[in-house]
Amino acid sequence: MVTSIFYGSISVPLYLFLSISLILGPKQALGFPISYLVPEKLYNSIFLHKDDSACPAKGFYTYSSFINAARSFPDFGKDGTISTRKKEVAAFLAQISHETTGGWATAPDGPYAWGLCFKEEVSAQSNYCDSTNKEWPCSPGKSYKGRGPIQISWNYNYGPAGKAIGFDGLTNPEVVANNSDIAFKTALWFWMTPQEPKPSCHAVMVGKYKPTPADLAANRTSGFGLVTNIINGGLECGKGDDNRVNDRIGYFKRYAEIFNVTTGPNLDCSNQKSF
């Protein structure tokens, strides 16, 4: 007697699937919450050392905060086939792991087991205020340095992120390093939101990115490397072999293996021009 079905590699009670099917229909029933793709046990195994005493963000990046934030972005991890959904989640976790890494080459369990170790940029070289941006003006004395899982930075990111999520990003940017739900929401806001001429990271990873003539001329081909370009292309892309890019790829390869999906082509952005 069949008592469960498999959602990707995750066993789901049949009664639960049938109950959801009656309400939403069988196709929509497969759109389970992100917690089915990333159960708490898996989350903790991915981020093995996030709560070590050596990590400044110890206790900050909780599983519940990740799940709560994901509920505010219902298309995250729910667009496309099961494999596509897993690949997007793996790519997101890889990028935030690099941005917050505490790992090193000979670290225990390897360099790619140390994501979510930091919650804000250490020794920021500036206050990341673009004074030419009049739409999102900087508040006096505030720093818009990198904070949260994706290390959101600059006033032109804090402002719209705050407006979308529901906090004052320009006068209270510190909340991103003090509230774990908001921190994860800023990361998912950045991931899901296109900022012209940049597409969203989400669109790239689920196959909805359509390159413009300018993209084609700049060799901005779809893949994980383009996501890196969206996040930090000005510093990392079009420069040949780059250790930062390689670190992002290392995390992605580890997580793709965990989720049992392929990484796809175009992992780096060494030959891409930045946006």
Decide if 186 is inside a domain: no
Q: Residues near 158 by Cβ (< 8 Å), separated by ≥ 6?
A: 136, 144, 152, 169, 170, 173, 176
pLDDT of amino acid 170: 98
Which amino acid is present at 103?
G
Instruction: Let me know whether 201 and 113 are in one domain.
Output: yes
Gap between the Cα atoms of 146 and 153, Å rounded: 5
- Alpha carbon dihedral 170, 173, 179, 181, in 10-degree steps, equals 60
Instruction: Let me know whether 109 and 231 are in one domain.
Output: yes
Cis peptide bond prior to 108, omega within 30° of 0: no
Say yes or no to pLDDT of 38 above 50: yes
Residue 31's pLDDT band, with cuts at 50, 70 and 90, is low
Domain boundary among the residues 179, 210, 229 is at 179
Q: What is the CATH number of the domain that holds 170?
A: 3.30.20.10
Instruction: Let me know whether 111 and 199 are in one domain.
Output: yes
Instruction: Let me know whether 272 and 218 are in one domain.
Output: yes
Give residue-wise pLDDT tens across range 150-206: 999 999 999 999 999 999 999 999 999 999 999 999 999 999 999 999 999 999 999
Give residue-wise pLDDT tens across range 221-240: 999 999 999 999 999 999 99
pLDDT of amino acid 1: 52
pLDDT of amino acid 215: 98
pLDDT of amino acid 21: 39
Q: Residues near 11 by Cβ (< 8 Å), separated by ≥ 6?
A: 4, 5
Decide if 56 is inside a domain: yes
Residue 89 near residue 192, CB atoms below 8 Å: no
In our burial notation (b when 16+ CB lie closer than 10 A, e otherwise), range 48-79 reads ebbbeeebebeebbbbebbbebbebbeebbbb
Instruction: Let me know whether 273 and 150 are in one domain.
Output: no
- Residue 166, SS3? coil
At 131, phi and psi to the nearest 5?
-70, -15
Rounded average pLDDT over 42-47: 97
Give residue-wise pLDDT tens across range 94-142: 999 999 999 999 999 999 999 999 999 999 999 999 999 999 999 999 9
Residue 22's pLDDT band, with cuts at 50, 70 and 90, is very low
pLDDT of amino acid 203: 98
Percent of the chain whose pLDDT exceeds 90: 88
Gap between the Cα atoms of 224 and 57, Å rounded: 26
Decide if 170 is inside a domain: yes
Instruction: Let me know whether 58 and 97 are in one domain.
Output: yes
Residue 150 near residue 187, CB atoms below 8 Å: yes
Active site residue 257: no
Q: What is the CATH number of the domain that holds 227?
A: 1.10.530.10
**Could you say which DSSP state residue 242 is in?**
-
**What domain range is 133 assigned to?**
120-179
Give residue-wise pLDDT tens across range 243-264: 999 999 999 999 999 999 999 9
Total domains, the chain: 3
Give residue-wise pLDDT tens across range 84-100: 999 999 999 999 999 99
Can you read off the two tokens belonging to residue 146?
């990198």
Gap between the Cα atoms of 238 and 260, Å rounded: 30
Residue 35 near residue 76, CB atoms below 8 Å: no
- The answer to pTM > 0.75 is yes
Check residues 12 and 36 and name the one with the higher pLDDT. Answer: 36
Give residue-wise pLDDT tens across range 51-64: 999 999 999 999 99
Instruction: Let me know whether 41 and 95 are in one domain.
Output: yes
Gap between the Cα atoms of 5 and 130, Å rounded: 52
Rounded average pLDDT over 45-52: 97
Catalytic residue among 99, 121, 174, 196: 99
Decide if 173 is inside a domain: yes
pLDDT of amino acid 33: 84
Instruction: Let me know whether 152 and 213 are in one domain.
Output: no
pLDDT of amino acid 6: 46
Residue 26's pLDDT band, with cuts at 50, 70 and 90, is very low
Instruction: Let me know whether 39 and 63 are in one domain.
Output: yes
Instruction: Let me know whether 162 and 208 are in one domain.
Output: no
Decide if 188 is inside a domain: no
Decide if 185 is inside a domain: no
Say yes or no to pLDDT of 25 above 50: no
Gap between the Cα atoms of 186 and 202, Å rounded: 14
Decide if 228 is inside a domain: yes
Instruction: Let me know whether 16 and 56 are in one domain.
Output: no
- Residue 135 CB neighbour total at 10 angstroms: 8
Instruction: Let me know whether 100 and 213 are in one domain.
Output: yes
Domain boundary among the residues 133, 154, 179 is at 179
